[in-house]
Structure 1
Amino acid sequence: MPAQSSYEYHQIRDPDFPIIFHQETLNYEESGVLAHWHENIELLWFVDGRGAVVIDSVRVEAGPGELVMIDSNRLHRIFALSAACCYYCLIVDKAFCERFGIPVGEARLKTSADSGRLRGLYGAIASEMAQKQPHYKAAVLAGVLALLAELYRNYMDRAPGLFPNREQTNRSRMVRGAISFLRRSYQQPLTIDDICREVGFSKFYFCRVFHEATGKTVVDYLNFLRCENAQLLLASGRCNVRESAERCGFHNDSYFTRIYKQQIGELPSETMRKQG
């Protein structure tokens, strides 16, 4: 799964089937799925190994059979806690939910659940998606609605102390604003002071909160964005190593090569060679 690092736009290819469903495996030595957010609800069902999901600043650990619920517009990242961690990911279009009175944008769910009924509902969806028998889409949508109804009936987070307070909301907004700024500006020379001015917070506070939310320092995050985009240019065959580096904000070839190897796991020349 490509790492995402900002607002994640979900393109629903079939408006009559407004879900995204896939299975993912993360390895312990990998960085996992980087922090991102989106307006749709996301439901994870862990089936093998152990993983962790950081939702805003709350860390939720999960093992086989457990569900993790990620509300609309909440910053989150996922990583493995065991050698390999396997889970299903179900993303449901917000407009589809609201059409049936599911308050995705208003109410909050508990972050995790371990329930035989939820496993049964989720498992039926996974089975239909795998087998794709006649009329499976109708069966999947019926299953999704049943799963959402169960969640919003019995797993609403009504504890006032667990809802984000103003400081938590501001922290999340600050990190999301910084990520968006980095996505727009990674090609330009940037300092931490530049980013702090953009989000309006002090350097010490910003760097601490950013690391807590994303699991990376600001510099590491920026380097990953630059290398991720350089990888796309190299893989396309349109740019050589130096051109890819310059277009993504690196102005020293040896530094780019070292950071690229660190972030991507191979040399830039190796990425180019794969396209030869």
Structure 2
Amino acid sequence: MRYLASHERAVRGTFDFPIELYYVDKHHPRYEMPFHWHMEHELILVLQGALHLSINGEACTLHEGDCLLIADGSIHGGTPQDCIYECVVLDLERFLPMASKCGQRLAQIRSNGARLEGRFPAGTRAAELTSRLFEAMETEASGYEFTTTGLLWQLLGEIMARHLYRAGTANVLRQERRTQAVKKVLQRIRADYSEPLTLDDLAGEAGLAPRYLCRLFRQVTGRTPIDYLNYYRIECAAELLCTTPDNVTDIALQCGFGDVSYFSRVFRHLKEQSPGEYRRAHRT
């Protein structure tokens, strides 16, 4: 099973209820959140510990009870710290038909470049509504679809009333252009991480000079393209260690490492365990 992707295309929920809940703890193959994006909105609720996130290059840390709404198309990734968190991914456009009054209101706001994206600290009304929405989806009590939809509408009403979204500005538009180049590189890494890739290959994918790509990529992800390539390869290897019986040498080769000793050094550097220790600790 493949969990990792740069551009996720998974169908969320069902056609007539396009929303899905994910519970993530240290045993989840995607506990560490590689940079990715999807064309749905995402709500995150931290249940325990801290989650250090980057959204289009802007850092954000969530603690217990904090919530975050991530807009469609935003490049985001995160590093958990003794963390348990949940995500709800939803296709907002299918919840709000454009013929409805609410859909028209949302379209009007977004036509000016605004993005439904923001942090809701623990204790706020928006965080309370988000937490209740997660609870409804967790329990799936009879009629939970009505409860979930109602809470989503209430949350959107709170966001609109208190302007808890990112207004359209020239800076937001510049940021959008910047992320498009990074998305191309992330897609190339996702597609070809098992093959030899150089900085020139990745720069060519983005249509940028290597030096400029390094600066831009670091602004969005916090890493250089090659550092991120190795990080992504290790995350793929960690997933294979948890989900397949393949030996360490085969996994290293599958994930683009021609030198098993180098693979082991990079793995230990990023995971603070050897591949064998990681497999034993996360096999369940």
Whether the TM-score (by the shorter chain) exceeds 0.5 is yes
**Aligned 1:226-237 pairs, distance under 5 A:** 226-234=233-241, 235-237=243-245
Q: Which residue of 2 aligns with 1:90?
A: 88
Question: Identity over aligned residues, as a percent?
Answer: 28
Letter in 2 for 1:112: R
Q: CA deviation at 1:213?
A: 1.5
Cα 1:250–1:22 change in 2 (3 A) is closer
Cα 1:158–1:78 change in 2 (3 A) is closer
- Are 1:133 and 2:135 matched, yes or no? no
- Are 1:214 and 2:221 matched, yes or no? yes
Q: CA deviation at 1:84?
A: 3.4
Q: Which residue of 2 aligns with 1:143?
A: 151
**Aligned 1:26-41 pairs, distance under 5 A:** 32-41=32-41
Residues of 2 paired with 1:270 and 1:219: CA distance? Answer: 25
Q: Which residue of 2 aligns with 1:175?
A: 182
**RMSD after superposition:** 3.3
Q: Which residue of 1 aligns with 2:254?
A: 247
> Is the Cα contact below 8 Å between 2:55 and 2:75 reproduced in 1?
yes
User: Gaps spanning 5+ residues in structure 1: where?
Assistant: none
Residues of 1 paired with 2:165 and 2:171: CA distance? Answer: 8
Letter in 2 for 1:255: Y
TM-score (norm 2): 0.78
Letter in 2 for 1:7: H
Letter in 2 for 1:37: W
Cα 1:40–1:162 change in 2 (3 A) is same
Letter in 2 for 1:76: H
**Partner SS state of residue 172, structure 2:** coil
Task: Give a deviation string over 1:60-96, Cα, whole Å, max 9, x none.
Answer: 344454432211101112335xx53454422211342
Task: Give a deviation string over 1:10-33, Cα, whole Å, max 9, x none.
Answer: 33243333212244457xxx9942
Q: CA deviation at 1:251?
A: 1.5
Letter in 2 for 1:44: I
Compare 96-105 and 48-57 and name the one that shifted more.
Answer: 96-105
Letter in 1 for 2:94: F
Cα 1:32–1:147 change in 2 (3 A) is same
**Partner SS state of residue 210, structure 1:** helix
Cα 1:88–1:231 change in 2 (3 A) is closer
Q: CA deviation at 1:199?
A: 0.8
Letter in 2 for 1:225: Y
Q: CA deviation at 1:156?
A: 5.6
Residues of 2 paired with 1:199 and 1:109: CA distance? Answer: 27
Letter in 2 for 1:201: L
**Partner SS state of residue 222, structure 1:** helix
User: Gaps spanning 5+ residues in structure 2: where?
Assistant: none
Residues of 2 paired with 1:97 and 1:163: CA distance? Answer: 29
Letter in 1 for 2:76: H
Paired residues, number: 268
Q: Which residue of 1 aligns with 2:58?
A: 58
Task: Give a deviation string over 1:170-207, Cα, whole Å, max 9, x none.
Answer: 32111111110111111221111221122111222211
Q: Which residue of 1 aligns with 2:118?
A: 111
